[in-house]
Amino acid sequence: MTTAVILLANGFETIEALTPADVLRRCGVNVVLLGVGGKSRKSAQGIEIQTDCEIENWQGEADLVVLPGGMAPGASALAKDEATKALVQKTLDAGGRVGAICAAPACVLAPMGVLDGRKATCYPGMESRFSPATNYIAEPVVEDGPVITSQGPATSLAFAVKLAERLAGAEKAKTVAKGMLAPSLL
């Protein structure tokens, strides 16, 4: 079964984490919520989530790693976490994908060099953290090879549908999007 892991550190943006979880599960993808810094994590909006496992204890393989944003301190915490960086790199090295939204492309992927030579987007204004080797595109969702980036909370559903399209196939993602009254996203 295809597996997506969504990394949650305290301060994550609720909609940017749970929308991909919802859409991917509707598409039949195994979604694992991994806690960074503890098993119970609290979103920037004060919603507490019990994750499935702490990142340090997870032994599985991921086809996709999803990095939600949230600057205070969600994406910053992900950027400082060595297990997060190792999982992103391991997944990409194994031919998997990474999805990052809002602050996460600039805070996590850019410093790792993952965006070098690629097109990417992020929360407007944070592109100043991209290296000159990254081609910033001011679009809601940008895909370049195995990397899918998105701008922020309002683009979460489009981001989630793009992730689902890549993991579950275009037809399944389209069916799910239509059932959610969002067919224009495909």
Helices (H), 64-155: 74-80, 82-93, 104, 110-112
Using CA atoms of 118, 3, 160, 23 in order, give the dihedral in degrees to the nearest 10: 170
Distance CA 74, CA 69 (A): 6
102: annotated active-site residue: yes
Residue environment code for 78-100, b if the CB has 16+ CB neighbours within 10 A, otherwise e: bbebebbbebbeebbeeebbbbb
User: Which of 27, 102, 107, 122 is labelled catalytic?
Assistant: 102
Judge contact between 163 and 23, C-beta under 8 A: yes
Phi and psi based region of residue 171 (left: phi greater than 0; alpha: psi -120 to 50; beta: remaining): alpha
What crossing angle do the helices spanning 170-179 and 14-26 adopt, rounded to 10°? 110
Beta carbons of 72 and 83 less than 8 angstroms apart = no
Which residues participate in catalysis according to the annotation? 102
